[in-house]
Amino acid sequence: AVRKPPITTREYWAPGHAACAGCGCAIALKLATKAFSEAMEEKYGDPNAFAIAQATGCMEVVSAVFPYTAWKVPWIHVAFENAAAAASGVEAAWKKLGIKGKILAIGGDGGTADIGLQALSGMLERGHNVVYLMYDNEAYMNTGIQRSSSTPYGAWTTTSPPGKYSIGEDRPKKWVALIAAAHQIPYAATASIGNPFDLVKKVKKAAKVDGPAFIQVHCTCPTGWRTPLEKGVEIARLAIETGMWPLFEIENGDIWNIKIQPPGGGAKVYKEGGRVVRIEFKKPIEEYLKYQGRFKHLFKRPEAIEELRNQIKAMWKVLGVEAILPRPEE
Amino acid sequence: AESPFKADIERAQKELTEKMTPGAIAYIPGSSVINKTGSWRVFKPEFHKDKCVRCFLCYIYCPEPAIYLDEEGYPVFDYDYCKGCGICANECPTKAIEMVREVK
C-alpha cells in the first residue's frame, strides 16, 4: 500500500550545504520552505510563487558558498541588518510588476533581535506582504558563539563565560515575537523544530495572511549549545515540555486573546473562557538544561537555576498564563 | 526510487564552473548537490524495513535532506549526503533506524 507524507515532497533546500551535522536551523528552513510552497499553491495556484531575502547568519553562510547554492527558489543575500528592508523592496517591486506571490525574509536571532530589529520594525510598520522567519538558535553561532539578546539567562557563550564572578549570560531572553506583535500585525507566532507539524501549520497560516507576519522558530545548535548531535530535536521538544519555549499565536496584536498551544509532556492546561490561564508543567527545566554543555555550570549554582525559573514564570505571565514549574525533587 | 535531486546533480555536473560571475550570482539552483557531504560521516544509519511503520518522522526531521521517499512511502537514505547526525535514529518511534560505526 502507498502512504502519502504529511508534507509536500517538493524540495527547496538541497543537500550538500555546509551546515554542521544535526543542525536544527536546517530542519526549520527545510520545513518552512516546504510549508510556504504548499501555502502558495493553495493561495495562488503556483507552488513556486515566492522568493527569499536572507540576512547574514549561519544558514546564509552554509547555504551559499560561491559558486554553490543550496536554494531552489529565487534567493538574495543581504547584509546582517537589512533582510526585512530588502524583502520590503522585493515585495514593492512585485506589486508594481503585478507578480503574484509572497516574500519570505529569513534572519537569525542576531540578525533579527539585535542588528536587524530596526529594519524589521520598519517592515512591519509599513505593512509589507512579507513573512519574516527568525530562526532562533540563541547566540551568534556563525561567528563563534557570541551572546545575542536572544541568549537565555545562564547560558555559556564565548562572550558570556561563567566563572567566579559570572554565571554566564546575565540578562533575560528577548522575545522578538512579542515585539513584532506590538506592531499590531496580522500574525505573530512562535514555533519550534520540536513540534514540526505546528511549525508547518504556522508557516502556512503566516504565508496566507495579507500583510506582514512574523514567526520565531526555536532551533537547536549542537555546536553552540554543546549538545550531542542526535539529541537536537529531542532537546527542542523538551524546551516546549518544560516551559522554556512557549508556543503561541497573536493575531492583530491582540494580546488579550493569545492562542497558546498545549506544551505536551504531561503538562496540565487550565482554561477559563476559552483562554489558557494556567499551565502545570510536569517536567522540570533541569530536564532541558542537563543535555546542554552551555548550561553545565548552572548545576553547581542552584540559585541561578532558581532565577531562570523565575524569569520563565515572568515570561509566561506576560502571555497571561500562570506557569507552575516543578523542581526535580518534587 | 530516484533522488529528487537527480536533475540538479546532472545539471550542476554539466554547467557548474568556478568562474566568477557578475555580481557573484549563483545561476544554478540547488548546485550545492555537487558537494558530497557523506564523507563527514562517522556513524551510518542502517534502515530495517520490517520495523518501519512509515510515520515519515525521519523524512521530516532530516536536516540535509538526505532522506527521500520511495513509491510506497518508505524512507530511502542518500549516503552521498548523510552527515550521520543520528537525529533520524533518535526520533524513530519503532527503532527501525540503527546507527552503526562506519569502517572504511
Using the predicted structure, report yes or no on whether residue A292 has a pLDDT greater than 70.
Answer: yes
Using the predicted structure, report yes or no on whether residue A4 has a pLDDT greater than 70.
Answer: yes
Separation CA A290–CA A45 (nearest Å): 46
Using the predicted structure, report yes or no on whether residue A330 has a pLDDT greater than 80.
Answer: no
Q: Name which of A7, A14, A22 is nearest B32 (Cβ-Cβ).
A: A14
Res B18: pLDDT:
80
Q: Say yes or no for a CB contact (<8 Å) between A9 and B5.
A: no
> Which whole number is the average pLDDT over A264-272?
91
DSSP secondary structure string for all residues of A265-311:
TT-EEEEETTEEEEEE-SS-HHHHHTT-GGGGGGGG-HHHHHHHHHH
Residue B63 CB neighbours (<10 A): 29
Domain topology for A24-261: Rossmann fold (3.40.50)
Q: Looking at the complex, report in whole angstroms how far the Cα of residue A285 sits from the nearest Cα belonging to chain B.
A: 21
| % of chain A beyond a pLDDT of 70 | 100
Using the predicted structure, report yes or no on whether residue A175 has a pLDDT greater than 90.
Answer: yes
Using the predicted structure, report yes or no on whether residue A306 has a pLDDT greater than 80.
Answer: yes
Exposed, middle or buried by CB within 10 Å (0-12, 13-18, 19+), for A235? buried
Q: How confident is the model at residue A190 (pLDDT cuts 50, 70, 90)?
A: very high
Q: What's the pLDDT tens digit per position in A22-56?
A: 999 999 999 999 999 999 999 999 999 999 999 99
| A63 and B CB contact within 8 Å | yes
- Apex A325 CA angle, A259 and A156, nearest 5: 95
Strand ranges (E), chain A: 50-54, 75-77, 102-108, 130-136, 162-163, 166-167, 187-192, 213-218, 248-251, 259-260, 268-272, 275-280, 322-324
Which grid cell is A127?
Answer: 505593512
Using the predicted structure, report yes or no on whether residue A234 has a pLDDT greater than 90.
Answer: yes
Q: How far is CA A21 from the centre of its chain?
A: 19
- State the ipTM, two decimals: 0.94
Q: How confident is the model at residue A283 (pLDDT cuts 50, 70, 90)?
A: very high
> Which whole number is the average pLDDT over A197-202?
96
As a whole number, the mean pLDDT across chain A is: 93
Using the predicted structure, report yes or no on whether residue A132 has a pLDDT greater than 80.
Answer: yes
Bridge partners of A260, per DSSP, are: A248
| A72 and B CB contact within 8 Å | yes
Domain positions in chain A are: 24-261
Res A3: pLDDT:
87
Q: Say yes or no for a CB contact (<8 Å) between A16 and B26.
A: no
| A222 and B CB contact within 8 Å | yes
Using the predicted structure, report yes or no on whether residue A148 has a pLDDT greater than 70.
Answer: yes
Kind plus residue range of the DSSP H or E element containing A316: helix A302-318
Residue A257 CB neighbours (<10 A): 12
